[in-house]
Amino acid sequence: MLLKVIVCCGVWSVVLSSSGLISANKREPRTVTLSRTLRTDRQGQVRSRSRRESWFGASNFAYCRQPLSPSEHRTLDFNTHETGFHGDDGSSFILTWVGDGTGVILVLSTISAPLDSFYEGGSSRLYRSEDYGKTFHDISHAINHTFIRKDFGVSAGPGNSKQVILTANVPITKTEGGVIFTSEDTGITFQSVTLPFHPAQPITFNFQNPNYLVAISTDGDLWLSLDFGNEWAKVHDGAHSFMWGANITLYFSFSPRGTVEPDRRGELYLKRTKDLGQTFTTIAQNIFSFGYIGGFLFTSVMEKLESPRVIYVSSDQGDTFNKAQLPSASTEQFYSVLDGDEDMIFMHVDKPGEDTYYGTVYTSDDQGILYSKSLERHMFGGEGKSDFTNITSLRGVYLTNVLDEDGGIRTVISFDRGGEWRRLEKPENVKCGVNVKNCNLHIHGEHSRYNNITPMLPLTDPTAIGLVIAHGSVGDSMSAIRPDVYVSRDGGYTWFCTLKGPHHYSILDSGGLIVAVEAHKDRQINSIKFSTDEGQCWKLYNFTDHPIFFAGLASEPGSKTMNISVWGYRPEDDDQPMWVAVTIDFERLLTRECEEKDYVYWLAHARMGEASETNGCVLGYKETYRRLRRQSVCRNGRDYVVIRKQTPCPCTRDDYMCDYGYYRHENSSECVKQADFVEKKLELCVHGVVEELETLGYRKVPSDKCEGGFIPLRRVSTGQRRCGNASQASTISPHPEKPVDSMMVIVVCASMGVVVLVISVAIFITVKRMTRRRPPEYLFSALRLQDDDQCMHPGPDSQTSSNRGSYQADSDDELIQ
């Protein structure tokens, strides 16, 4: 499996708008992009960045710190490996892990310079490691010392693929086609391929068969390859954007030649091919943009000239479309799919008005048609950033921030997939100011990272049950001054302050090990903190005698590894900066394999004082997990598997979301009718027919498995009236359209009934005008500025006895961009 990780950022990000596909960047949590920002004075000495970050200041915070024993220090020294990339003047490094547990890492060094200088003799450097980054070898000769693109130069095969594609940076005006280098053996060897076109964006793999590739050229042609890039065929012209669907289904928008700004005018066509370009079907027309997530296909449409835009959705791969029951959006508004799977979609709808910076979150039914209001005043920045976060370490948990009427930014959390939202409780080891009336914990998200308030997003992993690491502050609203690091071990119900000030952090060994490095941009670092008790206590290890300017943390995909790499740079003897990688192997420190006695069984979502019959019930069932005891110092290992037991629950109001036309007040379980639906019939347009909904205001949450108990009335009656937009019906020709160029299909293999989840987060269907720019300064203009120390941890003497003392970090890195 070739995987990529980006430090402090990394997700699927597909942005669609009135000008078509803005970006389609696959930033997986397996690619690390490290950049170096330096300046040199007249003596040639390396200096720090000129801007001093606001979070640094005097602090009297004392976290629980345990000393390293002499034997632990010797073990870590023996298993710490430093590599200096002498003579490499690259301004950025791109790290890519290849395979699962292979230890293979490819590192691409690139430099910023005019394009012509690349082609006339400039080159990239390519390094390869086979031991998790402990040693590297220069293999630039394998790609003929060719310069590789910095923006989308590395494409990784999906799943357990060992395939890699490097895209050369070739001047369009000097060559007829681009050049790629392909490898099928984790980068041991590469083959050079001259393309018949110049790619305009990353070459994209099919999810089930990585030999199937698709790309759009700089002149708008859609190209396909069925043999991992050796041969290519043009299958359509005028393409604007594309996305793989289920199996080998491919969707793309296009416009006829000569059409003026069809994406801004809503004149795009949406086509589908199920046979790799042999035939095509036009499934929608007059669209602005489209997106695919969790088996749902969305289109943004203006039904009539100068009318607001609406969303149409298909749950059958584009055979039929239905109008989503959502508020319409004017040209100054936008829709954003925040998250979704095959059961439900979270949709943000922008608030009407100029530069409101917030909107409403709606949740869908299992067909993606019917939407209910979930959260009001959900903050969404003008730069396209949302704090909406899926807490993957515990089922059903989501966290985000709201922009309240007083201008304060506050964090809310849902434990039942958006059914109910509540504030975070203040950690017990944190104090609020004397004049603070409502003291809660507020978590920094993408807005804070984008504005350099925090260096990382909240971090979770499905194998580290209940564990959440995030930057935050306590008070009546969020503070922009010196965020601290907080940890929850029960999925967000309770928190404690663990480290003072901003840090980079990572999860290793399925949560048995956490590591952290202080986030300093104005001075060098030489130490790493680690914890073996989920952040309760920390040990400090100095990993080098020669400090470095920190660039990023990098670890193998997932959280099973026990190797962590600290990347940075320091001046060489000639005063030029040198890239440095320090890899620490904690496996030799935690040598004992965990036994059954090291684990405890934990009922998730359980609360004190609740009835035993319903305690822990979320989405219709209880889950009891086996997880590591906090006091156990042992190694989960690569073979660790999460063990859980599920028990069904009786239905209660908590198993229901508010139905279409209803909403639930914050901290309330009762659904009340929206003001604009009072005295109105609830009529829906489904499959071209008007349906009347009779409801008490509740519908079961998609994927909820409760049995019996509370079952409210809900009935749908179908009338005879027709409805809908005829332009959204699939126009299926009895004689399917042929591709532009004929194309030999060697293998067509479709897996039965498997729906590929194309995107897990962050598909934006943006319908605002592209000429409009929202200023990002507002984001923290209303933030409370406080400089008091909030974390009050006991010293090690008053700490409960614990023999766990190792900590390691995993670069999370799923950020919306």
Helix count (H) and strand count (E) of the chain? 4, 58
The per-residue pLDDT for 46 is 34
SS (H, E, C) 450-468: HCCCCCCCCECCCCCCCCE
Provide the residue ranges of all domains of the chain, joining segments of one domain with +: 1-36+91-198
pLDDT at 738: 54
pLDDT band at 224 (very low <50, low <70, confident <90, very high): very high
Predicted pLDDT of residue 725: 53
Average pLDDT rounded to a whole number, residues 393-416? 94
What pLDDT is stored for residue 382 in this prediction? 67
Is residue 28 predicted with pLDDT exceeding 60?
no
Q: What is the mean pLDDT of residues 196-213?
A: 93
Phi-psi region of 478 (alpha: psi -120 to 50; beta: other; left: phi over 0): beta
Cα-based distances in Å from 183 to 170, 177, 211: 19, 20, 12
Q: What is the pLDDT of residue 104?
A: 87
Across residues 218-222, what is the average pLDDT? 93
In contact, 351 and 359? CB cutoff 8 Å: yes
Kindly report, residue by residue over 544-572, the tens digit of the pLDDT. 999 999 999 999 888 899 999 999 999 87
* pLDDT of 362 above 80: yes
- Which residues are 41's β-sheet partners? none
Whole-number pLDDT of residue 355: 72
Residue 287 Cα distances to 20, 265, 322, angstroms: 10, 9, 14
CA-to-CA dists, residue 721 to 370, 689, 692, angstroms: 19, 6, 11
Q: Give me the count of residues in the chain.
A: 817
Lookup: tokens for 42: 């007249």
Span 428-432, mean pLDDT?
Answer: 87
- Residue 531 has, within 13 A of its CA and on its CB side, a CA count of 25
State yes or no: pLDDT of 598 exceeds 60: yes
What pLDDT digit, counting tens, does each position of 689-745 carry? Answer: 777 777 778 888 888 899 998 888 776 666 667 776 544 444 333 335 655 443 333
What pLDDT is attached to residue 187? 93
Answer yes or no: are the C-beta atoms of 327 and 767 closer than 8 Å: no
Dihedral sign from CA coordinates of 228, 231, 236, 241: positive
- Structure-model confidence comparison of residues 408 and 354, the more confident one: 408
Residue 303 in this model has a pLDDT that exceeds 60:
yes
pLDDT of 683 above 80? no
* 740, 236 Cβ separation under 8 angstroms: yes
Phi, psi of 670 (to 5 degrees): -90, 135
Residue 779 pLDDT: 34
Q: Quick check: helix, strand or coil at residue 443?
A: strand
The reported pTM is 0.82
